[in-house]
């Protein structure tokens, strides 16, 4: 059973959280018909048509559309995908499923004829076209509820007037058919000389159901079953916006050249030429790629697991519903028994009113009594679905208070309905979860344990030397690994690139001035570039640079400028078991002693890091920043922050310092930055971007000029710092997104979630959990391995073998050898860092990580140490290779 997604998040779409007052206004303007609400007025949009996440390959396909009128390469790609996945030889493209229906009707279904079917929905459109569609579904069947009643079907065929026989895979979203029944339908169609046509927009779900429930099918792949379904039908159609995860488009496929001939002669009338059928070239490309991907077993199993889990949660809480292949279909009349008119729309309006969730019934008014709560395919996390379910349950609990909508306009179709409503007094449901949906995904590595054993041996037991493609969950670093938002991508794409000043530079400066309160904003290509410049302009050879624990690149640049780093962090920072909440603080006594000993003029500046990385992502308190700044500014010693993870530090202040519990993150950050004269930032962390950094000064124009002088030599223009204009645009947007309270909360709480899972299992970690990473304490995890046999290095390797999770050693290997004695440093902290990228993994991934580490912990006694087989002289952790003892 899948315990986490077989993919990670590549890009996210930000969610809106309208307040109760806003929801009331939006509802009134929508005339109380939630169909009219727009996604930016809705928090979770529980609708599964064209709303799913795509793969990054599909998204890429949308950028390589061959927009030729005739015979485009994208059409060829579509044709190949159809032949490979569906097995039919011919394809006729359409603009979407309605286009397909219209085409089939106008070619194969004469007016006044009969089209028996197992479905009701989507056939609504046949009514105005003058086609009768008798219900021939077997209503007595309890497992394959979408099966045709073969006797009824034969009677209908016998009675005459039947044009073609129709079948829907997972009919109406609720009723799957069996292969056996499908073969029976085909036999009857053949007997009466009729064609069997299947709408396979949900063929994957139906195939999954067959795999699970039909005897003899358990060992067959989804791909095989899909092909068999298609080949059993004369004609097959599929909606691009459903199983193929495209945003639009449709296709009709067949093996019959005569039918194909008819379709392509007719498609030019209503849709477009037979090689594009009303789709843009890029849509055909996305559709083709979606078809090729849709049968992937682990993906299908994940989607269906989510659906079953969600439905079960609702059912367990007493919500009256019918099972759906893509969610739960609530029985509105039973949910609101006291509402005799418009129960579905009342339920929809009430759910939106209390929570901002949209669930809406489509199609004909009065066709059924259900409100589908559908899951956008691959678009949501289980945590979010749990909360949507809780919102529905919360409505159920107060259903007696719900008053009915009064119609002020009616119509045949649901979108035509308009209402009046006296708002009932209901308690709102507040979401407390990740404030974004999944927009695109990236498959993760799926090696077997044996393959991973081979891979880690090949990498000399060094996780830096593993291929990312062989890694399932990559917790090597949070640097440059964030998922960008679709807004960041839009800004990135919309850029007017320039080798001079640019609008994006202006936006970036403005955004960072707002966030930091600093006047001079100097872009650099990443953090170490800013550190290089700051060190060069501020340090005189021989000067001291006191700081709260070193970071490798920071210390290196201070030393290259002739400075000497002095660690003045509090002692608690070196104790992995101390519960002190501010392990990132500077020990003011240590600092004062240093200044007293050497004099203030010997100090270049204070190097003050937020959320101290090497200490375990530990925060600095607001008071400590204030004290240090007060002390230093009186003596004329500048204070520079390494603000790489300053938003995370601000969140720790919000949660750990009661005086700030009601203060917005944006304001906490602004106050923090008051207690410094400038900062360097590696933007690859909190800024939610994949590349970039900045150097900022509060007001000192002389420093800024000196820095810009160096920037021109080492980095690029003063208006880009060597970054692409598009990256400046992504940074400007990322800086806005990072100070969102909901976002930063979800980010840091996810790290804590992993920490708590490990603590609960008795696994030794650095406490309290930091903001960007959980650090395993290898000395306590593997006490039988001497530090010179590199327990943290071995532990990282074992975790990879056990789980496919990649972590980073931060211990004896990283620290290196003392040049004086030639011995390993044997640092106090012998750690393995599990670093959480931003917006990339779900809490189910975190559960998977914790479960795997628990398994390693259970067999810890068998784990042996390592010995170097290749030891580079500098930064040996990057390239070093080991063998097992
Ligand atoms: C991290 C990194 C990336 C890294 C760097 C060196 C060795 C291994 C991994 C980079 C930081 C950082 C802080 C606090 C400056 C930099 C350098 N961290 N300050 O944690 O954490 O920034 O990479 O953008 O040049 O994996 P840069």
Place of tokens 């952790």: 877
| Separation of first and last alpha carbons in the chain | 35
Tokens describing residue 580: 């002190």
Q: What's the number of CA atoms in the CB half-sphere (13 Å) around residue 244?
A: 31
Closest ligand 1 atom, residue 683 Cα = 24
Q: Which two three-digit tokens encode residue 366?
A: 């009065």
By mean pLDDT, which of 72-81, 251-260, 318-327, 873-882 is the weakest?
Answer: 873-882
Q: Which atom of ligand 1 is nearest to the CA of 682?
A: 24
Closest CA to 198 of 50, 327, 88: 88
- Dump pLDDT digits (tens) for 71-111: 999 999 999 999 999 999 999 999 999 999 999 999 999 98
Q: Which of 287, 286, 268, 285 is nearest to 277 (CA)?
A: 268
Tokens of 833: 């860092």
For residue range 496-529, what is the model confidence (pLDDT) as tens digits? Answer: 999 999 999 999 999 999 999 999 999 999 999 9
Length of the chain: 885
Per DSSP (E only), the strands in 142-220 are 164-168, 195-199
Q: By C-alpha distance, which of 879, 745, 100 is closest to 433?
A: 745
Q: What is the pLDDT of residue 126?
A: 85
Please name the residue whose Cα sits nearest to atom 5 of ligand 1.
553
Q: Is the peptide bond before 768 cis (omega within 30 degrees of 0)?
A: yes
Pairing state between β 7-14 and 808-810: unpaired
Q: How far is the CA of 652 from the centre of ligand 1 (A)?
A: 20
Q: Is 527 in the pocket of ligand 1 (CB under 6 A)?
A: yes
160-210 residue pLDDT tens: 999 999 999 999 999 999 999 999 999 999 999 999 999 999 999 999 999
Residues 6+ positions from 858 with CB-CB distance below 8 Å: none
Confidence band, pLDDT 50/70/90 cuts, at residue 1 = low
Instruction: Name the residue of 465, 525, 551 to mutate for ligand 1: max ligand atoms within 8 A of Cβ.
Output: 551
Top mutation candidate among 478, 529, 558, 682 for ligand 1, by most atoms within 8 Å of CB: 682
> Is the predicted pLDDT of residue 464 greater than 90, yes or no?
yes
pLDDT of 122 reads 81
- By the 8 A CB rule, do 529 and 714 touch? yes
C-beta of residue 782 within 8 angstroms of C-beta of residue 632: no
Give residue 129's pLDDT: 85
Average pLDDT, integer, range 391-416: 96
Are the beta carbons of 803 and 849 closer than 8 angstroms?
yes
Q: What is the mean pLDDT of residues 7-26?
A: 98
Residue 642: strand pairing partners: 609, 680
> What does DSSP assign to residue 824?
B
**370-374: strand order across its sheet:** 321-324, 327-331, 370-374
pLDDT mean over 260-287 = 95
Q: Which of 280, 275, 269, 295 is nearest to 211 (CA)?
A: 295
What is the 474 CA–ligand 1 centroid distance (Å)? 16
- Pick from 860, 747, 739, 850: which is nearest to 798 by CA? 860
- Given a cut of 90, is residue 37 above it in pLDDT? yes
Q: What is the mean pLDDT of residues 692-707?
A: 98
Instruction: Tell me whether strands 327-331 and 321-324 are parallel, antiparallel or unpaired.
Output: antiparallel
Is 812 near ligand 1, meaning CB less than 6 Å away? no
pLDDT of the residue at 875: 82
648 close to ligand 1 (CB < 6 Angstrom): no
| Ligand 1 centroid, distance to 751 Cα (angstroms) | 18
pLDDT at 17: 98
Specify the ligand 1 atom closest to the Cα of 531: 15
Mean pLDDT of the chain: 96
In the sheet where 564-567 sits, what is the strand order?
520-524, 693-697, 678-682, 639-642, 606-609, 544-547, 564-567
Q: What is the pLDDT of residue 393?
A: 98
Residue with tokens 């099972």: 323
CA dihedral 373, 378, 383, 389 (to 10 degrees): 10
Question: Which residue, chain included where needed, has tokens 């800086």?
Answer: 735
Q: Whose CA is nearest to atom 26 of ligand 1?
A: 477
pLDDT score, position 533: 98
Q: Tell me if 696 sits within 8 A of 522, measured CB to CB.
A: yes
Mean pLDDT of 597-623: 97
> Which pLDDT band holds residue 233 (cuts at 50, 70, 90)?
very high
Q: What does the pLDDT look like over 527-536, one tens digit per residue? A: 999 999 999 9
The proportion of the chain whose per-residue pLDDT surpasses 90, expressed as a percent, equals: 95
Question: How far is Cα 288 from Cα 65, in angstroms, rounded to an integer?
Answer: 11
Query: Does the Cβ of 693 fall within 6 Å of ligand 1?
Result: yes
Residue 618 CB less than 6 A away from ligand 1: no
**Does any ligand 1 atom lie closer than 6 A to the CB of residue 552?**
yes
Q: What is the pLDDT of residue 2?
A: 66
Task: Identify the pLDDT of residue 65.
Answer: 84
């Amino acid at each position: 059973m899948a315990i986490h997604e077989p993919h990670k998040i590549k890009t996210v779409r930000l969610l809106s959280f309208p307040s109760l007052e806003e929801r009331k206004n939006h509802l009134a303007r929508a005339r109380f018909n939630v169909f009219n609400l727009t996604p930016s007025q809705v928090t979770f949009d529980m609708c599964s048509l064209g709303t799913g996440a795509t793969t990054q390959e599909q998204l890429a396909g949308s950028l390589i559309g061959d927009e030729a009128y005739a015979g485009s390469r994208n059409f060829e790609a579509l044709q190949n995908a159809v032949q490979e996945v569906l097995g039919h030889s011919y394809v006729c493209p359409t603009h979407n499923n309605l286009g397909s229906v219209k085409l089939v009707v106008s070619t194969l279904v004469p007016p006044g004829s009969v089209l028996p079917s197992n479905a009701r929905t989507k056939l609504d459109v046949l009514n105005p076209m003058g086609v009768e569609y008798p219900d021939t579904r077997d209503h007595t069947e309890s497992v394959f509820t979408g099966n045709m009643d073969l006797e009824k079907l034969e009677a209908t065929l016998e009675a005459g007037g039947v044009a073609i026989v129709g079948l829907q895979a997972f009919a109406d979203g609720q009723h799957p058919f069996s292969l056996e029944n499908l073969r029976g339908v085909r036999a009857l169609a053949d007997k009466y000389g009729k064609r069997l046509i299947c709408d396979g927009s949900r063929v994957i779900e139906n195939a999954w159901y067959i795999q699970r429930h039909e005897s003899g099918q358990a060992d067959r792949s989804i791909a095989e079953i899909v092909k068999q379904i298609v080949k059993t039908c004369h004609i097959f159609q599929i909606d691009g916006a459903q199983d193929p995860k495209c945003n639009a488009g449709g296709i009709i496929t067949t093996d019959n050249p005569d039918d194909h001939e008819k379709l392509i002669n007719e498609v030019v009338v209503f849709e477009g030429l037979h090689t594009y059928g009303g789709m843009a070239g890029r849509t055909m490309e996305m559709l083709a790629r979606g078809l090729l991907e849709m049968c992937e077993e682990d993906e299908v199993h994940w989607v269906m697991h989510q659906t079953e889990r969600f439905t079960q949660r609702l059912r367990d809480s007493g919500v009256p519903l019918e099972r759906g292949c893509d969610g739960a279909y609530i029985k509105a009349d039973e949910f609101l028994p006291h509402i005799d008119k418009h129960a579905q729309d009342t339920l929809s309006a009430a759910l939106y009113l209390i929570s901002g969730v949209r669930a809406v019934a489509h199609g004909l008014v009065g066709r059924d009594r259900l409100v589908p709560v559908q899951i956008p395919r691959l678009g949501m996390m289980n945590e979010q679905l749990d909360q949507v379910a809780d919102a529905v349950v919360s409505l159920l609990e107060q259903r007696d208070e719900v008053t009915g909508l009064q119609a002020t306009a009616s119509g045949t179709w649901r979108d035509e309905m308009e209402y009046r409503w006296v708002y009932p007094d209901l308690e709102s449901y507040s979401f407390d979860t990740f404030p974004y949906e999944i927009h695109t995904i990236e498959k993760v590595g799926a090696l077997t344990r044996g393959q991973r054993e081979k891979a880690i041996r090949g990498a000399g037991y060094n996780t830096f030397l593993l291929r990312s493609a062989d890694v399932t969950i990559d917790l090597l670093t949070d640097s440059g690994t964030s998922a960008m938002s679709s807004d960041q991508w839009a800004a990135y794409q919309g850029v007017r690139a320039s080798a001079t000043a640019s609008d994006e530079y202006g936006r970036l400066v403005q955004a960072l001035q707002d966030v930091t309160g600093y006047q001079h904003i100097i872009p650099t290509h990443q953090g170490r570039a800013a550190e290089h410049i700051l060190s060069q302009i501020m340090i005189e050879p021989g000067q001291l640079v006191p700081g709260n624990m070193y970071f490798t690149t920071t210390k290196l640049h201070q030393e290259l400028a002739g400075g000497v780093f002095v660690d003045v962090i509090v002692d608690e920072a070196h104790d992995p078991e101390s519960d002190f909440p501010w392990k990132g603080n500077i020990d003011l006594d240590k600092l004062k002693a240093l200044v007293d000993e050497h004099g203030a003029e010997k100090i270049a500046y204070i190097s003050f890091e937020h959320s101290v990385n090497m200490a375990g992502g530990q925060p600095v308190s607001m008071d400590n920043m204030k004290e240090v700044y007060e002390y230093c500014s009186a003596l004329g010693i500048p204070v520079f922050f390494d603000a790489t993870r300053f938003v995370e530090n601000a969140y720790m202040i919000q949660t750990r310092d009661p005086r700030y519990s009601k203060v917005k993150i944006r304001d906490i950050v602004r106050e923090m930055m008051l207690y410094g004269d400038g900062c360097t930032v590696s933007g690859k962390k909190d800024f939610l971007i994949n590349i970039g950094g900045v150097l900022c000064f509060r007001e000192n124009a002389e420093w800024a000029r000196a820095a810009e002088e160096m920037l021109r030599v080492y980095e690029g223009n003063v208006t880009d710092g060597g970054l692409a204009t598009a990256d400046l645009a992504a940074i400007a947007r990322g800086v806005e997104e990072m100070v969102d309270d909901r976002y930063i909360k979800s980010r840091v709480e996810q790290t804590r979630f992993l920490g708590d899972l490990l603590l609960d299992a008795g696994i030794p970690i650095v406490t309290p959990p930091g903001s960007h990473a959980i650090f395993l304490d290898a000395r306590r995890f593997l006490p039988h391995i001497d530090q010179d046999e590199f327990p943290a290095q071995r532990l990282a390797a074992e975790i990879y073998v056990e789980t496919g999770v990649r972590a980073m050693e931060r211990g004896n290997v990283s620290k290196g050898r003392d040049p004086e004695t030639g011995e390993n440093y044997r640092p106090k902290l012998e750690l393995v860092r599990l670093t959480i990228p931003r917006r990339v993994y779900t809490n189910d991934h975190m559960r998977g990580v914790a479960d795997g580490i628990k398994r390693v912990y259970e067999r810890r006694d068998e784990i042996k140490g390592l010995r170097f087989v290749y030891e580079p002289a500098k930064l040996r952790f990057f390239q070093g290779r080991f063998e097992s003892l």
